[in-house]
Amino acid sequence: MKKNVLITGGAGFIGSHVVRLFVNSYPDYHIYNLDVLTYAGNLENLKDVEDKPNYTFIKADICDHEKMDSIFSDYNIDGVIHLAAESHVDRSIKDPFSFAKTNVLGTLSLLQAAKTYWNGDFENKLFYHVSTDEVYGTLGESGFFTESTAYDPHSPYSASKASSDHFVRAFLDTYELPVVISNCSNNYGSYQFPEKLIPLFINNICSNKPLPVYGKGENVRDWLFVNDHARAIDVIFHKGKIGETYNIGGFNEWRNIDLIKVIIKTVDKLLGRPQGASEKLITFVTDRAGHDYRYAIDSSKLKNELGWEPSLQFEEGIEKTVRWYLDNKDWVDNVTSGNYQKY
Ligand code: NAD
Ligand code: TDX
């Protein structure tokens, strides 16, 4: 079946994997990648699909609601996969307004455009909102976030994502807009901006720079390979039930300090350095304000109802990821020098 699918934030980390998967897997769909290209958006991430006939890039800001209205009608959009967002917790602590603007008002402007253009004819239409496990707040030593865990965000980032999720559900309840939401745990893999823990630390180890570990490094995150997140988005877009929420995670919890030691071991091995040589770079620094202690996702609903499971073991995923950053030094150099913004 032919479809015009609008993917927002497609030049970012996760978005670029989703765009690539959809362009390659669905030649009958036309994929419109809408991205304003903030510091986190990089069209180099999509070099391999930019000439495909079923792919179009649109440079636009999701907060520009008149533009969003015209995009829906100009391209006859049937489906939306909404990933565009400000995504880094540390930046949200310094500049909460830009998170409220993009994540809340930007989502609202897209919802409004979808509602106006679809105008009550919702057959084969879907607004898929991609969210995070951080909306659920923090866990103690045990337990998991399920789809019915109450929202309890602590950072400006997670508060803005929680607010956007509420707007998405409000559009279902008030206007019957066909929506679906997924909340995913921490992703890792290729093309992640090196401000986030894993690519930052790989890069710093390579350059023998300090590795800033927040607090005592005891916080726990649940890590999922980004390609598995993209596969889950594909499954939910095609098989998810309207109005439902799906948690996505890898049942793969790591204390930051243990994860960092795995990264060090892997980088040292691949660079031919003595085992553990780079552990001396570990530097404990002041903790992140409002730092959530532990995230852990129960993704059994997605497995039981839609048949999705992660495809990779963590050790394999992390080795692939480290290799990618080592083999793509030009990409890393372009991103860290700012040259990618000229692409
Ligand atoms: P990212 O920061 O790498 O990419 C975000 C993209 O959105 C960039 O290309 C940026 O240019 C674009 N963008 C930002 N503001 C925009 C605007 N106003 N208009 C149009 N485009 C804009 O983010 P990511 O890590 O790929 O995350 C993508 C989505 O997935 C986000 O909604 C995030 O909340 C969610 N998420 C991320 C993770 C993770 O571990 N990274 C986990 C769960 C959920
Ligand atoms: O330099 C660092 N030192 C450090 O100890 C950085 C950048 C992070 N950390 C810690 C903070 C977290 O406990 O590592 C953990 C992971 O940090 P980030 O990579 O910044 O991710 P996190 O804050 O957990 O949020 C990520 O996962 C959920 C994404 O950035 C979000 O967009 C997503 O919603």
Please report the pLDDT score of residue 180 as a whole number.
99
Whether 255 and 286 have beta carbons less than 8 Å apart is answered as no
List the Cα angle 116/119/122 in 5-degree steps: 120
Please report where in the chains the tokens 């508060």 appear, as a residue: 159
Instruction: Cite the active site residues.
Output: 133-134, 157
The token pair at 103 is 């994540």
CB 138 near ligand 2, within 6 Å: no
Please report the pLDDT score of residue 170 as a whole number.
98
Whether 267 and 204 have beta carbons less than 8 Å apart is answered as no
Task: Point out the ligand nearest to the CA of residue 40.
Answer: 1
Please report the pLDDT score of residue 97 as a whole number.
98
Taking each helix axis as running N to C, give the angle between helix 107-118 and helix 156-175, from 0 to 180 degrees, rounded to the nearest 10.
20
Find all residues with CB under 8 Å of 21, minimum gap 6, and list them.
227, 230, 231, 234
In the predicted model, is pLDDT for residue 77 greater than 90? yes
Q: Is 178 left (phi over 0), alpha (psi -120 to 50) or beta?
A: beta
Average pLDDT over residues 301-308: 98
Please report the pLDDT score of residue 232 as a whole number.
98
Phi, psi of 311 (to 5 degrees): -100, -20
201-259: pLDDT as tens digits: 999 999 999 999 999 999 999 999 999 999 999 999 999 999 999 999 999 999 999 99
Whether 222 and 229 have beta carbons less than 8 Å apart is answered as no
* Helix, strand or coil, per DSSP, at residue 179: strand
Average pLDDT over residues 176-200: 98
The token pair at 145 is 């976030």
CB 196 near ligand 2, within 6 Å: yes
Summary mean pLDDT of the chain: 97
Please report the pLDDT score of residue 100 as a whole number.
98
CA dist., res. 314 & res. 223, Å (int): 8
Please report the pLDDT score of residue 8 as a whole number.
99
In the predicted model, is pLDDT for residue 343 greater than 90? no
Please report the pLDDT score of residue 6 as a whole number.
99
Side by side, the strands of the sheet bearing 29-35 are 55-59, 29-35, 3-8, 79-82, 126-132, 179-184, 245-248
CA dist., res. 38 & res. 288, Å (int): 24
CB 186 near ligand 2, within 6 Å: yes
Which of 99, 188, 214 most suits a substitution to test ligand 2, by most atoms within 8 Å of the C-beta? Answer: 214
CB 132 near ligand 2, within 6 Å: yes
Average pLDDT over residues 281-297: 98
Please report the pLDDT score of residue 65 as a whole number.
96
> Which is the closest atom of ligand 1 to the Cα of 10?
9
* Helix, strand or coil, per DSSP, at residue 115: helix
Calculate how far, in angstroms, residue 173's C-alpha sits from the geometric centre of ligand 2.
Answer: 33
CA dist., res. 205 & res. 39, Å (int): 23
Q: How confident is the model at residue 342 (pLDDT cuts 50, 70, 90)?
A: confident
CA dist., res. 321 & res. 191, Å (int): 9
100-129: pLDDT as tens digits: 999 999 999 999 999 999 999 999 999 999
Average pLDDT over residues 135-151: 98
In the predicted model, is pLDDT for residue 1 greater than 90? no
CA dist., res. 180 & res. 167, Å (int): 12
Calculate how far, in angstroms, residue 40's C-alpha sits from the geometric centre of ligand 1.
Answer: 8
Ligand 1 pocket, residues with Cβ under 6 angstroms:
8-9, 11-15, 35-38, 40-41, 61-63, 83-87, 102, 106, 130, 132, 161, 184, 186-187, 193
CB 297 near ligand 2, within 6 Å: no
CB 222 near ligand 2, within 6 Å: no
In the predicted model, is pLDDT for residue 340 greater than 90? no
Mean pLDDT lowest among 105-109, 183-187, 324-328, 338-342: 338-342
The 3-state secondary structure of 261-319, one letter per residue: HHHHHHHHHHHCCCCCHHHHHEEEECCCCCCCCECCECCHHHHHHHCCCCCCCHHHHHH
